[in-house]
Amino acid sequence: MSEVIVSAEDVAARVSAIAAEIKSVSAGLTPKNPLLLVCILRGAFVFSADLIRALEAESVPTEIDFLGLSSYGEGQESLGRVRVTLDLDTDVRGRDIIIVDDILDSGRTLSFVQTLLVSRGAKRVRTCVFLDKPERREVKVKADFTGFQVPDVFVVGYGMDVAGLGRGLPYIGTAPDAE
């Protein structure tokens, strides 16, 4: 059993608050020109699902697409490089985009995706991360919207895993020691 860092109730409240923050800076969106959420798979899928529902409740026109990336493999240590495992189906040219990711730690993934989307012609690229571990930063990057700042421990739950396990937990907890 993992130690709870962020409760399920705090998760839900913060997701709603982030949606309100996004709405406050998202003027000019319409159903024909919606905000595009780019969900970084796999870790951010639960957060992205809750966030798009919260944005709907805030009347923010929103679409979603998915970008599969890998930097961890099967363990708890980053491989030091980012690779695309599943590309977007949506043309991002001229679009307002928010990248939705689970954790901002080294900054490599977020920086990689920002550069990728800008190079593809996105109008504006902002970032939203559920968890921030600033002491792990290797690349200078800061999220526009952040759920929680957490200590430098490996976490599971709310879509995040260790070697595929723990994604379904409704809270954020510490990862059990790797066997």
List 37's β-bridge partners, or say none.
Answer: 64, 98
Looking at residue 33, what DSSP letter applies? Answer: B
What CA–CA distance (Å, rounded) separates 90 from 87? 9
List 65's β-bridge partners, or say none.
Answer: 38
C-alpha distances out from residue 121 to 63, 66, 94, Å: 17, 17, 6
The active-site residue out of 105, 132, 161, 177 is 105
* 105 is annotated as an active-site residue: yes
Active-site amino acid positions: 105
